[in-house]
Amino acid sequence: MATPRDAKSRVSLEGALNPTSKQQPGASGLPAPNAANTAKKVDLSAILGNLIPHPFSYNDFLEFLKKEHSVENIDYWEAGMKYRERALPLFPKPNKSKEIYSTDLTKAMTTSQTGSLKEDETESLTGNDGPQVDEALMLKQQLALKPDLDAIVSLYLTAGSQKEVNLPQNLIKKTIIEIHESKNYHPDVLKPTLEKTYEMIEHQQMSSSPPTPPSPSKASTEETNINSPIVASHQLYLAKMSSEIRARTIPWEGYQRASLISEEELAQIRQFENNPGVAFKESGEKYMYLFLTLLQKLVRTDTIQNILVLIDDILEGNGNRTSIFFNLAKEKNDEFLPFSPFIKLLRKDDEYIQLKSAKICINLFLKADPLPIFEPIDLYSWITSQLLNSNPNIVDISVQYLQSLLSITEYRIGFFKSPHAMTNLVDVLKKSTQAQMQYQTIYVLWLLTFVKEIAIDLQRSVKLEFPKLTPIRKYDVIPKMLEFAKHAIKEKVVRNIILKAPEENMIALLGNKALNVCEILSARKWADEEIIEDLNFLKTELSKSMASLSTFDEYSTEVKAGTLEWSPAHNSEAFWKQNASRMNERDYELLRILSRIISTSNNPTVLAVAAHDFGQYIKHYPSGKKIVQDIGAKKQIMELMAHSDSDVKYQALMAVQK
């Protein structure tokens, strides 16, 4: 792990990615922090330059990344920047009269991620009057870089490596081919992956790293380390629309002539537009009340969009300005202010108005002290519906909104109980293929699991009630989280589930082989002590529960988890002789689950085992055949006789013949 350098050294290193830039904080040649963020968030370039004291120092940021299990991103960024620092002097621009580069190196000089380097960037590698260089010596020095580059590829870009960075596979593949097959050692060969890594670090800093914990009034003592991310502060989709709207001109005079606004309101608007900072500083409450009034009486979509941009810009410029909203509410003696105008706009048939209104509204909830007396049901409902949006950008923003809103403890149970909220959220998790979206969604689940009532209900099945014949799993998140855990650590979520509701979730964890997953993860080397602690906790708790299970308990756990395989119990005659009657317990619960598995699973092994178990039950329980028919399972078993898998066919045939 790199140690912090002095400011001058680090900023110079950043400048290596874009040699034409001035050596100033932020001149990294990488994507600059969003303009909308800089007032609200600390500039990432300044953090990486170690230009800011605690709590935003470079070391503070490293500690944050370790806790977020993404320190490999900055490790790779450091290693790549060091390589560029060493390699750049060995790749001067050739004198026009003497070409000294090999085909591969020339290609590297003239191509980049976008297809071609900017002329000024290429020129900057050395001036037109650069020194003549001995070709053989230069190529020898360039080839000497190969071990360094190979080490970087092996440690950070190779699949399954100890510090593999989570970059798009096509980008990694392209980089490795360029290095190994084209023998391209030019410093720009790493530039596309470094740019993407910087973007990921910036996203992590922008979306998840405010150092201020929730106040005691908004979080229980067990959660004082939970951070409240800024609402969608990195989201380019929303920022781009805001930029376009900000550039428009509003026909205020036309509104005044149409009597939509008064002359006094027009004068106030023009005064504000002339010098927003001074005007707001002198009469902030007056102008904010003006904007809220305009929001409620104007109906044109474009005008409402402009006013929302104006309000959000004011809040982003200074987070303390939210106090003006709350002062207005006290002055007007309206308990629904300042939230109601923005919640009302969530019903407006315009994507941008909804997104911006929700952002402002959540920003206000985060700053409210005390919290409003009403539950933001309309906001829950709106976010829930957006989780199903066909536009992935909207889904991304909506999940981020949840990260922010649910950092307030009091709103977790309300969202959890909101119709379809959890179903839609878990659906996002199950369908997502992007690591960042998976992280954000699991972060939301982690926040929810601090509430015991939620931890109890997050996985377990609904109790069977007539006329329902099969149990319904509420959200069934444990199998998916364990699947992710094999590639990315999610122990803290599982740890909360066990701590808050051990009895309700232990069966699902054991049935989905959570102990095996923890054993595999424990075999890896972890620099983060928290990961080791979480894994040890999970292994201990899971092992204790496993030791207390009887053979039938283990079988029951496997069936309830839906992860059937040919474990010893299924083929044991002694097991079925002893336990066939126990399949009738709780109104034939296990039989009904097996029936549901047959009707829903596509896994041939699972289907074969389920059919086999029905056959064993029929064989060893006197009235088993009638019971199987009564619960509707016989028809399902007979349908398996036409299955394409030979073992499924065989087990179904054997069951029907018994």
Print the domain residue range for 396: 375-448
553 found inside a domain: no
Is 213 inside any structural domain?
no
Do 570 and 527 sit in the same domain of this protein? no
User: What does the pLDDT read at residue 96?
Assistant: 32
321 in any annotated domain: yes
* Of residues 487 and 327, more confidently modeled: 327
Within 22-144, where are the H helices? 35-38, 44-48, 58-67, 71-87, 103-110, 119-124, 135-143
Same domain, 173 and 51: yes
In a domain, 244, yes or no: yes
pLDDT band at 336, cuts 50/70/90? Answer: confident
Nearest to 350 by CA among 314, 291, 316, 394: 394
Of the candidate ranges 93-102, 159-168, 394-403, 496-505, the one whose mean pLDDT is the lowest: 93-102
CB 451 within 8 A of CB 412: yes
Q: Is residue 275 part of a domain?
A: yes
Q: Are residues 590 and 611 in the same domain?
A: yes
Of 19-28, 353-362, 371-380, 437-446, the range with the highest mean pLDDT is: 353-362
Q: Is the peptide bond before 55 cis (omega within 30 degrees of 0)?
A: yes
State residue 219's pLDDT score: 36
Residue 583's pLDDT band (boundaries 50, 70, 90)?
very high
User: What is the number of structural domains in the chain?
Assistant: 5
- Residues 139, 107 within the same domain: yes
**Residues 438 and 502 occupy one common structural domain:** no
Do 200 and 52 share a structural domain?
yes
274 with 262, same domain: the answer is yes
* Burial class of residue 302 in the structure, from the number of CB atoms within 10 Å of its CB (0-12 exposed, 13-18 middle, 19+ buried): middle
Among 208, 239, 266, give the residue marking a domain's end.
208
Measure the CA–CA gap between 317 and 323, rounded to whole angstroms: 13
117 and 54 in one domain?
yes
- 67 within some domain: yes
CATH of the domain at 652: 1.25.40.150
Residues 266, 327 within the same domain: yes
On the question of pLDDT at 108 being above 80, the answer is no
Check pLDDT > 70 for residue 254: yes
3-class DSSP assignment, residue 381? helix
The residue from 414, 448, 482 where one domain ends is 448
Q: Residue 318 above 80 pLDDT?
A: no
Model pTM score: 0.49
Give residue 86's pLDDT: 80
Residue 576 forms part of a structural domain: yes
Q: Centre a 10 Å sphere on the Cβ of residue 246 and count the other Cβ atoms it contains.
A: 12
Q: Please indicate, yes or no, whether residues 198 and 232 belong to a single structural domain of this protein.
A: no
Q: How far apart are CA 576 and CA 573, in angstroms?
A: 5
- Kindly tell me if the per-residue pLDDT of 226 is higher than 50: no
Q: Are residues 464 and 340 in the same domain?
A: no
Which residues share a beta bridge with 391? Answer: none
Residues 200 and 259 in one domain: no
End residue of a domain, out of 404, 428, 448: 448
Q: How far is CA 91 from the centre of its chain?
A: 39
Domain presence at residue 255:
yes
What is each CA distance from 401 to 177, 310, 379, in whole angstroms?
A: 39, 20, 10
